[in-house]
Amino acid sequence: MQQIDKENLQKLSKKIKELRLKQSKSLNQFVFANGYLTTATWSRLENGVNDYKFSTLLRVSRLLNVTIDELLKDIDFNYDFKDD
């Protein structure tokens, strides 16, 4: 994984957590109220442990009541594919 990928994953993870906390809910409260993903999965999302599938990002944005555009707003999409 490129360094930019790691940085983007950390940015996205931080944003996911901030959006959940804006709803004033603990991780358990949020997951139990919304279903779909387990507490362990959501924790991994917020801690940047795993990369995400697009379908997961769509689900996350819906659960957080934001558009996918808003969720990905500050992500750097400039890649140098020569480094892969």
pLDDT in tens, the chain (84 residues): 677 788 889 999 999 999 999 987 888 888 888 877 888 989 999 999 888 888 989 989 999 999 999 998 888 777 666 655
The residue written with tokens 């944005």 in the block is 61
Task: Domain of residue 66: give its range.
Answer: 3-75
Q: Is the Cα torsion angle 75, 77, 82, 84 positive or negative in sign?
A: positive
Residue 81 lies in a domain: no
**Residue 27 half-sphere exposure toward CB, CA atoms < 13 A:** 13
Q: What is the number of domains present in the chain?
A: 1
Residue 36 lies in a domain: yes
Residue 82 lies in a domain: no
Choose among 75, 43, 41: nearest CA to 56: 41
Residue 63 lies in a domain: yes
As a whole number of angstroms, the distance between CA 7 and CA 42 comes to 19
Residue 5: per-residue pLDDT: 82
Residue 83 lies in a domain: no
Q: What is the CATH number of the domain that holds 20?
A: 1.10.260.40
Residue 48 lies in a domain: yes
